[in-house]
Amino acid sequence: MEIKIKSGDLASQKTPCLVLGVLDKRKLSAPAEAIDQAAGGYLRNVLGKGDLDGEAGRTLMLYGVPGVAAERLLLVGCGKPKDFNRTVYAKAIAAAVATLNQGHTSAALFTLAELRPEGADRYDALRDTVTVAMDKSYRFEQTKSEKKPAPPLKRVDLWVADKADAPTAELAARHGLAIAQGVALAKDLGNLPGNICTPSYLAERAQGLGRDYPALKVQVLEEADMEALKMGALLSVSRGSRQPAKLIVFEYRGGAAGSKPIVLVGKGLTFDAGGISIKPAEAMDEMKYDMCGGAGVFGTMAAVAELGLPINLIGVVPASENLPDGAANKPGDIVTSMSGQTIEILNTDAEGRLILCDALTYSERFDPALVVDLATLTGACVVALGKHACGLFTKDDALAAELLSAGEAAADRAWRLPLWDDYQQQLDSNFADMSNVGGREGGAITAACFLARYTKKLTWAHLDIAGIAWLSGKEKGATGRPVPLLTELLLGRSGARPTPP
Ligand code: BES
Ligand code: MN
Ligand code: ZN
């Protein structure tokens, strides 16, 4: 997607399509008002016919409007002024993009950011225009024999009434583009099936990213390396599959040599059948998405490298399959993790924490300022929070606040759940230092409590992204979340986000 910033007289802008907001009860946004005046009241006249009353998400295309240079006008309903928040704004942009992509419009000039949604500054609104437009133009066609033509919309121009706001808009466009590209990468990896997207495939894609961005160093640890590191928990999961596990390590050093890195650890389980504790058949295909934490690390690394942010960032992706096999983990098996702690595997389907605990121990070697892991870890988190927010777990209140606000700012929200030690006893085992499951109650919390036992030396937060990483049903597909949240966090840490006036 190409993006240009525009300002000046709106009526004389040459564009295939000018996108204008209309609020409830046919109230014109300021740019629409300006166009209406240039067109001698044409818009008010059309709206008077009643085809568009301003309901959020409705659109009306107008052709040959007198007095304006644009080839078309797209009126977009934005709802009631008092309800106009970022969600409604995204809905309006999405509706506009859908209409544009149904037709043959190759470029459009968006003015909706002038109608400032509640909770968003100009930078946010302009950036949302880019991320939503690209999100809605995303298609996954790689595994179709007949590819549909790419959506026609190739260029999104952003309107700022005041030219002094152009630098803010440039920044919003650059950041929005990088985030959207990271999201698209995470979606692509997530949507690929388990027979293509194996641990080895992920490792190759990581090497490819390293070639695309020279600042990104990529190292892939093989099972022999993991043996040497005594990663008994990770290796026990991989033993149930014919595909060898890979431990992918990204290293981006954009910051000062002495500044401690942030480490992102993403669960890269390329297919989770449950192992010997096998899952039911229904919707098991969706367990190809069990590597979306890893995909989120890929997408975030790519966004940060694209922007060249002045920070040090490490990405660690333990990649494995979880399948039933003669050599697979059996309920009751006891393994020794890299940390030395022993684990009784009472359910082989709680494999995410087994591969993550060794990856978390491994991340200690980077002497990190902060470690955030992201994992499609528990069905319980989906029950608790649904598909709107991921679960956030940390004992560090300041870090929790930082992650929650990054989620708000990026419209990719998290919600905090407790990590109290009261839950730890559910992991007691008669035979090992701990069990890998904590029973039915508070399943997302006990999973986080398990990980907490491996992060005692770290400043650490855990994101359970099981509910947000993909959508099911007719709209089945990866979402690319939480790439926006994590990139926002890193933009904040690197001081690249503008402070609102
Ligand atoms: N990958 C799953 C979690 C999952 C399930 C995510 C459904 C999204 C939808 C994870 O490996 C798993 O199987 N977790 C178990 C843990 C249980 C055995 C303690 C679960 O949630 O059922
Ligand atoms: Mn599982
Ligand atoms: Zn899993």
Alpha-carbon distance of 63 to 351, in angstroms, equals 57
| Structure confidence at residue 500 (pLDDT) | 62
Using an 8 Å Cβ cutoff, are 400 and 407 in contact?
A: no
Cα gap 32→53, rounded to integer Å = 14
DSSP 85: B
**Which tokens in the block code for residue 256?**
């000062």
Render the burial of 465-495: b for 16+ CB within 10 Å, e for the rest. Answer: bbbbbbeeeeeebbbbbbbbbbbbbbbebbe
Q: Which residue, 19, 49, 269, 37, is CA-closest to 156?
A: 19
CA distance 466 to 457: 26
Residue 287 CA to ligand 2 centre (angstroms): 8
Evaluated on CA atoms 428, 430, 432, 433, the torsion sign reads: positive
Cα gap 298→341, rounded to integer Å:
29
In this structure, the residue with its CA closest to atom 13 of ligand 1 is: 349
Instruction: Report which protein residue has its CA nearest ligand 1's atom 3.
Output: 378
Helices (H) and strands (E) in the chain, counts: 14, 21
Tell me the three state secondary structure of residue 192. Answer: coil
Measured from the Cα of 347, ligand 1's closest atom is 18
**Active site residue: 246, 288, 353, 481, which one?**
353
Ligand 1 center–CA 287 separation, angstroms: 9
Q: Which of 320, 343, 378, 479 to mutate to test the pocket of ligand 1 (most atoms within 8 A of CB)?
A: 378
Q: Hey, where are the domains in the chain?
A: 2-157, 180-494
At 497 the pLDDT is 86
Q: What angle do CA 329, 333, 334 make, to 5 degrees?
A: 120
Is 163 part of the annotated catalytic residue set?
Answer: no
Query: What residue owns the CA closest to ligand 1's atom 16?
Result: 350
Q: Is 154 marked active-site? A: no
Judged on CB neighbours under 10 Å (0-12, 13-18, 19+), 149 is exposed
Determine the distance separating the centroid of ligand 3 and the alpha carbon of 270, expressed in angstroms: 9
Beta strand 268-272 with 312-322 is parallel
In angstroms, the CA 499 to CA 269 distance is: 38
Residue type, 113: A
Cα of 479 vs centre of ligand 2, distance in Å, is 20
Q: Which residues pair with 4 in a beta bridge?
A: 157
CA of 178 to the centre of ligand 3 (A): 29
Residue among 80, 139, 174, 279 flagged as catalytic: 279
Per DSSP, 72 falls in state E
Q: Which bound ligand lies closest to the C-alpha atom of 320?
A: 3
Distance from C-alpha of 457 to C-alpha of 364, rounded to nearest angstrom: 8
Global pTM? 0.97
Looking only at Cα atoms, what is the longest distance across the chain? 83
CA distance 209 to 162: 38
Pick the CATH number of 180-494 from 3.30.1330.30, 3.40.50.720, 3.90.1200.10, 3.40.630.10: 3.40.630.10
Contact indicator for 275, 348 with CB cutoff of 8 Å: yes
In angstroms, the first-to-last Cα distance of the chain is: 29
Q: Which of 192, 218, 204, 90 is nearest to 140 (CA)?
A: 192
Ligand 1 centroid distance, CA of 386 (Å): 14
Residues lining ion ligand 2 (Cβ < 5 A) are 272, 349, 351
Q: Whose CA is nearest to atom 5 of ligand 1?
A: 379
CB 455 within 8 A of CB 371: yes
> How many of the other CB atoms lie within 10 Å of CB of 82?
8
Which residues have C-beta atoms less than 6 Å from ligand 1?
Answer: 272, 290, 347, 349-352, 376-380, 382, 437, 443, 466
Nearest CA owner, ligand 1 atom 22: 379
Neighbour-count burial for 264-296, b at 16+ CB within 10 Å, e otherwise: bbbbbbbbbbbbbbebeeeeeebbbbbbbbbbb
pLDDT of the chain, 501 residues: tens digit per residue: 999 999 999 999 999 999 999 999 999 999 999 999 999 999 999 999 999 999 999 999 999 999 999 999 999 999 999 999 999 999 999 999 999 999 999 999 999 999 999 999 999 999 999 999 999 999 999 999 999 999 999 999 999 999 999 999 999 999 999 999 999 999 999 999 999 999 999 999 999 999 999 999 999 999 999 999 999 999 999 999 999 999 999 999 999 999 999 999 999 999 999 999 999 999 999 999 999 999 999 999 999 999 999 999 999 999 999 999 999 999 999 999 999 999 999 999 999 999 999 999 999 999 999 999 999 999 999 999 999 999 999 999 999 999 999 999 999 999 999 999 999 999 999 999 999 999 999 999 999 999 999 999 999 999 999 999 999 999 999 999 999 999 999 999 999 988 765
From the list 370, 357, 361, 363, the residue with the least C-alpha distance to 267 is 357
Cα–Cα distance for residue pair 497/229, rounded to 1 Å: 39
Which ligand 1 atom sits closest to the C-alpha of 279? 13
Structure tokens at 69: 């240079």
Q: What does 334-372 look like in DSSP terms, one character per residue? A: EEE-TTS-EEEES-TT--HHHHHHHHHHHHGGG--SEEE
Q: Is the peptide bond before 500 cis (omega within 30 degrees of 0)?
A: no
Ligand 2 centroid from CA 225, angstroms? 24
C-alpha 127: how far from chain center:
15
For β-strands 434-435 and 268-272, DSSP reports them as: unpaired
**Domain spanning 2-157, CATH architecture:** 3-Layer(aba) Sandwich (3.40)
Burial of 27 (0-12, 13-18, 19+ CB in 10 A): middle
Q: What's the confidence (pLDDT) of residue 498?
A: 83
Tokens of 127: 């950036």
Q: What confidence score (pLDDT) does residue 499 get? A: 72
Q: Contact, 438 vs 450, CB < 8 A? A: yes
Q: Judge contact between 234 and 358, C-beta under 8 A.
A: yes
